[in-house]
Each structure stands twice: as C-alpha cells, then as structure tokens.
Amino acid sequence: MPSALMAIAVRQRAKFEGWLKFELAAIAEKHGAQSVEVETASDESNSSAKRSDLSLTFNCNRFDVELKTANSNWRMSGVRNKTRPITKNIKGIIRDAQKLSLCSGQGIVAFVLFPLPLQDNRWTEYLDRIASELGISL
C-alpha cells in the first residue's frame, strides 16, 4: 500500500482487509501462484465457516489465507479515536486461525495491527495471547 493510502487508513483507523485481499491476490499471481481466488470455499459446502479470504496454489501446494486488519485502541495524535476494544480484534484473529483447521490446504493467517506508537512494544502481548490461545509458538 503506498504510504499516502496507508496514512489515510491509519488516520481513520479504517480497516482495509477487502483491498488487501485483491492486492495480495495480484501479487501472488505475479509471482507464479495459480488458481488464485478471493473469498473462496475451501471445500464443496460453500459454508462461510469454510471460506478463506484468499486461496491459491503455489509449487503444487494449496494455501488458504485468512487476513485481518485489526485496529488498536491506543490513543495517538492525529489518529481518530475508535471505541472497539482491541481484544475483539484479537479474538477475530484467533477465530480465523481456528477456522483454518477446516481447510483442505495449508493455512496462513496474516494480520496488520495498527496504529502502533513508535518504541512501544505492547503489541507483543497480543502475539503472546494469540499463540497461547492457539497452543503454538510465534
């Protein structure tokens, strides 16, 4: 995302997951991925529980990708205040990771946590929480 576009999203704490799906899909195809699809069922049921944000095949392996753009609730100069607790965004990341256990391919969860104050490492607490809830190490 060009820095001017990112600045608008950050300033408004606006989620940009929809845009990001298509940007990543285009980049994946450019680098040789095949069968690239956005919002596709990971099986024949068409259930939303089995739908990934992005799916693709690369080097004969299928990948199902879940994306999240989680806005933080830290107060920052020049950034609009939002009241949605960060804990709900983190729970959404955990739910998406759990959902990938139903996919037929290899699951990938990618997320952007924003905005973050410079020199502030509190975001690592959320990585620890995600890892703990999923029983994995990050």
**Cα dihedral sign for 68, 26, 107, 101?**
positive
d(C-alpha 28, C-alpha 131), whole Å? 27
Q: Looking only at Cα atoms, what is the longest distance across the chain?
A: 48
Domain range enclosing 124: 3-134
> pLDDT digit of tens for each residue in the chain (138 aa)?
557 877 888 888 788 888 889 999 999 999 999 999 999 775 555 555 567 899 999 999 999 999 999 888 888 888 888 766 788 889 999 999 998 877 777 899 999 988 888 888 989 999 999 999 999 888
Residue that the structure tokens 């290899």 belong to: 106
> Which neighbouring-strand residues pair with 68?
111
The total of structural domains in the chain comes to 1
**CATH number, domain with residue 106:** 3.40.1350
The pTM (predicted TM-score) of the whole model is: 0.82
* Sheet strands side by side (includes 34-41): 34-41, 51-58, 61-71, 106-114
